[in-house]
Amino acid sequence: MTARILVVDDVAANLRLLEAKLRAEYFEVALASSGPDALAQAARWSPDVVLLDVMMPGMDGYEVCRRLKQQPATQHVPVVMITALTEQAERVRGLQAGADDFLSKPVDDATLFARLRALLRVKQVLDAWRLRAETARELGGVPPEQPSEDLRGATVLLLGVPREEAAALVEDGIELMSAADEQEAWQVALRGPCDLALLSLPLPGGDALRWASRLRAQIETRDLPLLLVADEQQRHVVLRAFDLGASDHVLRPVDGLELRARMRNQLRRRRYQDRLRADLDRSLELAVTDPLTGLRNRRFVRRHLDQLLRSGTPAAAVMIDVDRFKGLNDRYGHAAGDVALREVASRLRDNVRASDVVARFGGEEFLVVMAEAGPEDIAAVAERLRASVASAPLRIGSDLVALTISLGTAFGGPGVSVDALLSAADAALYRAKAAGRNRVQAADSGDWAGRLAPA
């Protein structure tokens, strides 16, 4: 796994040593010798991870980390602080500034590369979601809000971790759920809601690494943050767990402030990823939805119909046009016309089968696509739609305005193209309007001969 690593240290010898180690593992490396230089390099070069010395003159590592986390372009870049400081308070201070982990000098190579691999996996997932979200925003989507810093209501699953070791989390309003064994923990993780799992190393009566591996192998749980609580002698197992997908760790005896800081970082990242996913879903929904009526749009319904026909599924097209819509628009204005279109859309939506797709095809024209429907079903649905629109007038100001629709239906099976089916339904619709409107016409052989309705 290759990536861009920015190394920040005011001692040239330290820079060169880390550069040599990283390049030997085929990472791309950039060097910075001060805080301001690091911020400029990060903005210009877009690193995947920053290895950051704490003790630097002028702007120290804590301030560099805070500033990186405040900038939209760099706030999601993992930061690993490298320091000779051993005090617990300094570790907590760095985590609270946004650092993802601490490594002590001299840096242990196995620990360094295990942490880099774990952080890069998370970064790649976030980058993929951010890229999709940016694409959706270019298509008119709304950018996601920043995730809430309030952790109250979050749920943490404890597996093999005594509640007293996690007691500090309760101060943040986090709910703790203890599982008796691996199977119960697995069921809780699947059933949810679960925002993070705390896993003990070693796991009494169980295999922690196998459980971690299973968590990452299932699509329902693979994004669940996994934080390890380990004994000092379990460091080698922690490194193996990182390769299997663990997110972070804390060593015993557990410091409450450190655990809370690491937990906040993991939950913040999880919430941001969830927000990106929701934003993408919403943007995709908007891309296939007509903004006026809330129905599917022309792009979606044509693709849906094409997929049905290509799969060999028999499908019907019901083409619908609002009668005398231009006169309504001219007399009452476009705002009234919009009200009429929304009302027609609502009545159509309420009178189709659950499996049918209703779309606004353009202007005052609508389309219903029916899969696996026989001639009797098509005729019954079309007549029900006609009657539902004609059943009650629309109130515009003090006037009651009659609404009616004309419908043309066509049925197609394997080998029929979308254009041919829609053209036949459109030709049938033309005949319905020519015959007096407010009626249903089924396509006949003449409609299939290629006749098209006029614009």
What does the pLDDT look like over 339-394, one tens digit per residue?
999 999 999 999 998 889 999 999 999 999 999 888 888 999 999 999 999 999 99
> What pLDDT score was predicted for residue 277?
77
135 inside domain: no
Q: Do the domain assignments include residue 133?
A: no
Kindly name the residue from 165, 182, 258, 364 that is annotated as catalytic.
364
Question: Is the confidence at residue 65, as pLDDT, over 90?
Answer: yes
Stretch 220-247: mean pLDDT, rounded? 92
The arithmetic mean of pLDDT across residues 301-307, rounded, is 91
Residues 365 and 421 in one domain: yes
**What is this structure's pTM?**
0.66
Residues 101 and 154 in one domain: no
Residues forming a β-bridge with 196: 156
Specify whether 428 is located in the same domain as 372: yes
Higher pLDDT, 304 or 276: 304
Average pLDDT over residues 303-317: 90
Which of 210-214, 279-283, 397-401, 432-436 has the lowest average pLDDT? Answer: 279-283
Candidates 289, 294, 360, 370; CA nearest to 325 is 360
In a domain? residue 393: yes
Among candidates 276, 286, 272, 281, which has minimal Cα distance to 143? Answer: 276
Res 172: pLDDT: 84
pLDDT at 37 over 50: yes
Residue 205 CA to residue 195 CA, distance in Å, equals 25
- Domain assignment present for residue 292? The answer is no
More confident residue, 267 or 319: 319
pLDDT at residue number 453: 34
Are 345 and 406 within one domain?
yes
Reported as a single tens digit per residue, the pLDDT across 126-158 is 887 776 666 656 655 555 555 566 778 899 999
- Say which residue, 306 or 125, is predicted with more confidence: 306
pLDDT in tens, 80-106: 999 887 788 888 999 999 999 988 888
Say yes or no: 148 and 265 in one domain. yes
Residue 151 · residue 276 · CB < 8 Å: no
Residues 438 and 314 reside in one and the same domain: yes
Instruction: Judge whether 112 lies within some domain.
Output: no
Rounded to whole angstroms, how far apart are CA atoms 284 and 305? 19
Higher pLDDT, 443 or 142: 443
Q: What's the CATH number where 162 sits?
A: 3.40.50.2300
Domain range enclosing 177: 142-281
Give the full edge-to-edge strand order of the sheet including 248-251.
Answer: 175-179, 155-159, 196-201, 226-230, 248-251
327 conformational bin, left if phi > 0, alpha if psi -120 to 50, beta if neither: alpha
Of 370 and 193, the structure prediction assigns the larger pLDDT to 370
- What distance in Å separates the CA atoms of residue 82 and residue 102, rounded to the nearest whole number? 6
Structural domain count of the chain:
3
Same domain? For 85 and 159 the reply is no
Phi then psi for residue 326, to 5 deg, are: -60, -40
pLDDT bucket at 418, cuts 50 / 70 / 90 = very high
Question: Among the three residues 107, 125, 155, which one is the final residue of a domain in this structure?
Answer: 107
Return the DSSP state at 211. H
Asked if residues 371 and 355 have their Cβ atoms less than 8 Å apart, the reply is yes
Residue 172's CB: how many other CB atoms inside 10 A? 16
Do 71 and 172 belong together in one domain?
Answer: no
Residue 373 belongs to domain with CATH number: 3.30.70.270
For the segment 284-299, the average pLDDT, to the nearest whole number, is 88
Q: Does 362 reside within a domain?
A: yes
Q: Quick one: average pLDDT of 53-60?
A: 94
CA distances from 256 to 64, 165, 168, 246, 261 (A): 25, 8, 5, 20, 9
DSSP, res 255: P
Look at residues 254, 281, 308 and tell me which one is the last residue of a structural domain: 281
Q: Determine the distance from the C-alpha atom of residue 426 to the mean position of all C-alpha atoms in its chain, rounded to a whole number.
A: 38
Nearest C-alpha neighbor of 32 from the set 21, 108, 18: 18
Torsion angle in degrees (nearest 10) through CA of 424, 428, 430, 435: 160
**Rounded Cα–Cα distance for residues 208 and 218 (Å):** 16
Can you give the pLDDT at residue 18? 95
Query: Residue 192 has what pLDDT?
Result: 79
Q: Note whether 229 and 366 are same-domain residues.
A: no
Q: Is 364 in the active site?
A: yes
pLDDT exceeds 70 at position 281: yes
**Helices 109-138/256-287 angle, 10° precision:** 30
Does position 13 have pLDDT exceeding 90, yes or no?
yes
Same domain flag for 159 and 189: yes
First-to-last C-alpha distance (Å) of the chain = 57
Q: Quick one: which of 54, 49, 55, 53 has its CA closest to 25?
A: 49
* Mean pLDDT of the region 30-39: 97
Which pLDDT belongs to residue 133? 66
Residue 12 belongs to a domain: yes
Average pLDDT (242-261) is: 92
Average of pLDDT values for 26-40?
96
Higher pLDDT, 172 or 367: 367
Rounded mean pLDDT of the chain? Answer: 90
Is residue 269 very low, low, confident or very high in pLDDT (cuts 50, 70, 90)? confident
287 in a structural domain: no
Amino acid identity of 381? V
Residues 6 or more apart in contact with residue 209 via CB below 8 angstroms: 237, 240, 241, 244
Q: How far apart are CA 152 and CA 78, in angstroms?
A: 25
Higher pLDDT, 66 or 218: 66
pLDDT of amino acid 135:
61
- pLDDT bin (cut points 50, 70, 90) of residue 305 is very high
Query: What is the spatial distance between Cα 186 and Cα 192, in angstroms, rounded to a whole number?
Result: 10
